Amino acid sequence: MLLADFGTSYSKILDTSSTNGPQLIASRDLDRNLQVDIGTGHNGKRHCRHYVNELTALARGGISLIDAESFTLLDCGSRDIKYVAYSEGKIEDMGWNAECGASMGFTIELLEKYYDLDFRTIEVPATSFSVTCGVLGMSHIFDAVVSGSSEAEAVAKFVKGIAINAYNFAKRPQRIYLSGGLCDNPLFVSAFPCPVVPLGRFVLLDGLKASCEQLGLQ
Amino acid sequence: MTIARTLRVGIVGVPPLSVMQTLTAPHIKVYDLDEPQGRIDIETASPFLPQVYCGILRTVMANSLIIRPDVIYIDIGPGKCDCAVHTATVLEDTLPKTRIIRTRNQDSTDFGTPLCTTRMDLLKKMQAITASVQSTTPYHSLQPCKAVAGFWGVPPRDFSLLSLFPDTTHVYGWARCMENKTPDNLKLELHYNPDIPTVFFAQSFCAKTALARHLATKHPHALYLDCDVTAGNSAKAKIQAFLELSGI
């Protein structure tokens, strides 16, 4: 059975009949005719026979991966951010900023390539930019560089601003379980004002597995 | 023989019953200006009302500019909102040939809420509730159903978000006050059922967002949601996921 999370920049595909783990493919390189059994994600509806709402997939993934009755799970994608909050095993709150989560992952990746940065070597700055959206945030970077900041320092303030935005969006929980490609960005993960447990970029695939069980799909 | 010219009357909010009773004559055509009328572009309102403003009142403005009613009854009492007070002024200055009549509906006779609690497609139910404003006769009784979900709030600008709910959704909040013909009934507006998952909805930029969010915090199993002109994918996904994850 083929499961897939069709994200804006990257698609994650899992063949449950294979012992190989999930495949990560740039969404622009996807076979336009690809059809999977069950899918989710921004680009999912046209590629799958059964579509699962992204928030539902995220929540079910969280339930299967997190050993706690109460948690906040935040997914930071290329284009959007979304979260689900559970309290004592029941859904308590959720949010999805689909149009402009500062186009978070996409903008961060763009800056990493443009300035040729290695986020593993950049320290979390003491201060951050107020990032209301990716485009306005980039203006802060350009202004800071013009004023003498290093490119790495300016981008780090931008990344921290985005992490604080995401934290506020998720209603400032005591601990955040993080999903999505930004789990692999140590600067972003460390920039949150609360403890962060990175779960990786395949959480929605775990949610799809749980959905398969609920729907009786084999 | 003289043929009475059709009098075109717009209503905003829920005018008092005594007003609605005067609008039942066959030569009067009533337009509910709160609701989208045909394909009138909401941006028609933009030269006259800020774009960041209640989507319902921007709709009122756009409808009024295109339909140009002879008379507009606009409720500006506590059963509507301050935005309507100011919209009435803008309408008066913008449409000098339209008579703007301000009302303050404080009717307190309960008409009942049979639609809110019956089994019916929620979108059709909300259409029936908004249409009930123009009815002045007692309601037919309807069989109430056991609710599995709740929708609290005002009739949304974009009714399509209602199509995600099950038929056994009960309606609460101002929409229930509307059917009851008591728009200024805070006690009824504050009522909800804590035993069923409930979406607390308000239009973005509406004062009721505070109440919706507050009640969602008090309710043990609730989702707060606000939308502007149209319900985007994320708003619809939130409703769908909330209901799914609540076992509905």
CB atoms within 10 A of CB B1: 2
A98/B240 touch (CB, cutoff 8 Å), yes or no: no
Task: Find where tokens 């339930």 sit.
Answer: A63
In this prediction, residues A25-49 reach a mean pLDDT of 92
Cβ atoms of A107 and A79 within 8 Å: the answer is no
- Is pLDDT at B213 greater than 70 in this prediction? yes
Measured between beta carbons, the chain B residues lying within 8 angstroms of A80 are: 234
User: Are A34 and A136 within one domain?
Assistant: no
The first and second tokens of residue A146, run together, are 């013009």
- Is pLDDT at B173 greater than 70 in this prediction? yes
User: Are A164 and A211 within one domain?
Assistant: no
Measured between beta carbons, the chain A residues lying within 8 angstroms of B234 are: 80, 82, 96-99
- Is pLDDT at B64 greater than 70 in this prediction? yes
B247 touches chain A (CB under 8 A): no
Measured between beta carbons, the chain B residues lying within 8 angstroms of A56 are: 240-241, 244-245
Mutate to test the interface with A, among B244, B246, B248 (most CBs of A within 10 A): B244
Q: How many domains does chain A have?
A: 2
Which pTM value belongs to this model? 0.87
User: Are A155 and A85 within one domain?
Assistant: yes
User: Are A108 and A186 within one domain?
Assistant: yes
pLDDT bin (cut points 50, 70, 90) of residue A98 is low
User: Are A78 and A185 within one domain?
Assistant: yes
pLDDT of residue B192: 98
User: Are A60 and A127 within one domain?
Assistant: no
Mutate to test the interface with A, among B221, B238, B239, B248 (most CBs of A within 10 A): B238
Domain that holds residue A55: 1-66+202-218
Q: What is the DSSP string of chain B?
A: --PPPPEEEEEES---HHHHGGG-STTEEEEETTS--TT--GGGGTTTS-SSS-HHHHHHHHHHHHH--SEEEEE-STTS-HHHHHHHHHHHHH-TTSEEEEE----------HHHHB-S-HHHHHHHHHHGGG--SPPPP--B---SEEEEESPPS-GGGGGGS-TTEEEETHHHHHHTT-TT-HHHHH---TTS-EEEEEETT-THHHHHHHHHHHSSSEEEEEESSS--HHHHHHHHHHHHHTT-
User: Are A47 and A78 within one domain?
Assistant: no
- Chain B nearest-CA distance from A53, in A, is 6
Q: Name the average pLDDT for chain B.
A: 95
B241/A94 touch (CB, cutoff 8 Å), yes or no: yes
pLDDT of residue B54: 95
B234/A99 touch (CB, cutoff 8 Å), yes or no: yes
In this prediction, residues B146-165 reach a mean pLDDT of 97
B111 touches chain A (CB under 8 A): no
A55/B223 touch (CB, cutoff 8 Å), yes or no: no
A98/B244 touch (CB, cutoff 8 Å), yes or no: no
CATH code of the domain containing A184: 3.30.420.40
* Alpha helices (H) in A31-72, listed in sequence order: 54-65
Q: Which residue of A has its CA nearest to B236?
A: A53
Question: Which of B221, B234, B241 is the closest to A56 by Cβ?
Answer: B241
pLDDT of residue B234: 85
B246 touches chain A (CB under 8 A): yes
- Least confident piece of the model among A132-136, A198-202, B75-79: A132-136
Question: Which of A90, A93, A96 is the closest to B234 by Cβ?
Answer: A96
- Is pLDDT at A47 greater than 80 in this prediction? yes
User: Are A122 and A189 within one domain?
Assistant: yes
> How far from A8 is each of A46, A61, A106, CA to CA, in Å?
13, 19, 9
A91/B240 touch (CB, cutoff 8 Å), yes or no: no
pLDDT of residue A102: 55
User: Are A216 and A175 within one domain?
Assistant: no
User: Are A140 and A190 within one domain?
Assistant: yes
- In this prediction the ipTM stands at 0.80
Q: Name the average pLDDT for chain A.
A: 91
A91/B233 touch (CB, cutoff 8 Å), yes or no: no
Give pLDDT tens digits for B2-46: 666 899 999 999 999 999 999 999 999 999 999 999 999 999 999
A91/B246 touch (CB, cutoff 8 Å), yes or no: yes
Domains annotated on chain B, with CATH:
7-103 (3.40.50.11890), 114-245 (no CATH)
CB atoms within 10 A of CB B99: 13
Radius of gyration for chain A, computed over Cα atoms and rounded to the nearest angstrom: 18
pLDDT of residue A215: 84
The first and second tokens of residue A52, run together, are 């699962």
Give the number of beta-carbon pairs within 8 Å between A and B.
42
User: Are A82 and A163 within one domain?
Assistant: yes
pLDDT of residue B133: 95
pLDDT bin (cut points 50, 70, 90) of residue A99 is low
Cβ atoms of B212 and B150 within 8 Å: the answer is no
User: Are A54 and A119 within one domain?
Assistant: no
Question: Which of A53, A93, A99 is the closest to B237 by Cβ?
Answer: A53
A98/B233 touch (CB, cutoff 8 Å), yes or no: yes
pLDDT bin (cut points 50, 70, 90) of residue B233 is confident
The first and second tokens of residue B7, run together, are 């009098």
pLDDT of residue A107: 86
Pairing of strands B28-32, B7-12: parallel
pLDDT of residue A80: 85
Question: Which of B233, B234, B245 is the closest to A56 by Cβ?
Answer: B245
- Is pLDDT at A101 greater than 60 in this prediction? no
